[in-house]
Structure 1
Amino acid sequence: MAENSQITEFLTTLRALLAERNAKRELPPIRKIYKKEDFPTWRCNLIWILDQFGLAKYIKNDVLQPPLHEADDVKQWKEDRILVDAYIRSHIGNSKIERGLEAMGWNAEITDPKATFDFLTKYFEGASSDRFAILNEELVTIDRANFASMEAFQLRLCYLRDRLKSPGSPWADLKDGAYIWMALRAIRKSHTDLYARCVYKVEKGEMTWSNLMEEFHMVSASEEAQTALIHHTREP
């Protein structure tokens, strides 16, 4: 019970910190992207941060400018786009990547966070139907047991879902219910209690993708706490 209390306290503190940053319009930094193999984790971290600030919509969809007579909304729309685009650009690792984006058609003089994000995705991963098929095959066979930690598993799971829901994917319209069941199938042997609890909530209609990710995050936080405790007890 004490461990669960510590995890709950950690999540509460994290939410409070993000809320404070949100009020100040300060986005916390993430690691810059340099290599293709780092892109899935970078992409997941970027989306997660933006989502906490209500800004992920600017890279997931084409958010249209509000009507001109709604001056405050137009002002907010412009500020949000500038903020998100600048945030993404500040985490591009080097000028070589920027030159590659420009060679693909990206216009650095235009503030368009979705275009910047989409070009980065194409630069590192491409957007062919074959690529989506490979990602889908990985998702339907993903297994928690094949990852060193719940955090690593969750990052990959979220990445696969986000990519398969992106424009151009044959699975873009797949409902979250399907992703929830694939995620649960992946943990049914490694986390039997969690699996049973989540299935019960699904059957009662009380489980959303966000709820499931929070359940996974609590397990991840517990794993990190246990690892830290082991290291601490081993110290002389």
Structure 2
Amino acid sequence: MLEIDALDVSHWISRYIYPFARISGLLMVMPLVGSRMVSQRVRIFLAVAITLAVVPVLPPMPKVDAISLASFIIILQQLLIGIAMGFIVEMLTQVFVITGQLIAMQTGLGIATTVDPSQGASVVVISQWFLFLVSLVFISLNGHLVLIEILIDSFSTLPVGMQGFGADDFGLIVRWSGWMFSAALVIALPALAALLIVNLAFGVMTRAAPQLNIFALGFPVTMIVGLFIMWLSVGEMATGFQQYMDSLFEFLKKLTLQ
């Protein structure tokens, strides 16, 4: 007669709980899936489905009692790893949100705001448009599938255990967040430079013809020029997003390589 003791049941549960914690942490904060537009039930369903699909191919899990302090620490470590990976990907989309804010400040469109349903906060319209654009590009390039693949590979490069990300790893994440602001400035620099030239031209015109109403003339012209520049640079932004996404995935692979 087959006998199953409580320890075997505990190990079987741990085999699914640990991967579920890391996967659910990623889905909690990653772009699109981690937004408020996706309900918690859908995220839980996706996490359970992915866990059931990948557990048979994962390395052996540590044999720790599922109801113990050690198991609780391991679950927290896996949850933190997933959240960190999703947060890094989320920073990639925020690069273009910051880019939109920089351009909107120079074009005078900063007063045009809308509510971002994914974050529940008011953002400028240009940033929201950029966010929709990069989200579509991310999906069209199968970025979500590559991200899940990197997550599954991380169970081999960063095995489940008491050890997770260390101080050096979090230092890399902080430096990556600094790159987010520099990348946003690089993307917005052509538009900012063109708008600066336009403002200098209006300054010269005002100096030469003081009777011109610079506020009545400069605001619509600056807005039209800014929209035209964005129309010209939208293709380059999509190409730049692909390059940044490749760099992001390489960074994630390096981060999970222990």
Tell whether the structures are fold-level matches, with TM greater than 0.5: no
If the length of structure 1 is used for normalisation, what is the TM-score?
0.25
If the length of structure 2 is used for normalisation, what is the TM-score?
0.24
Query: Which structure carries more relative contact order (alpha carbon 8 Å, separation 6+)?
Result: 2
Larger Rg computed on CA atoms: 2
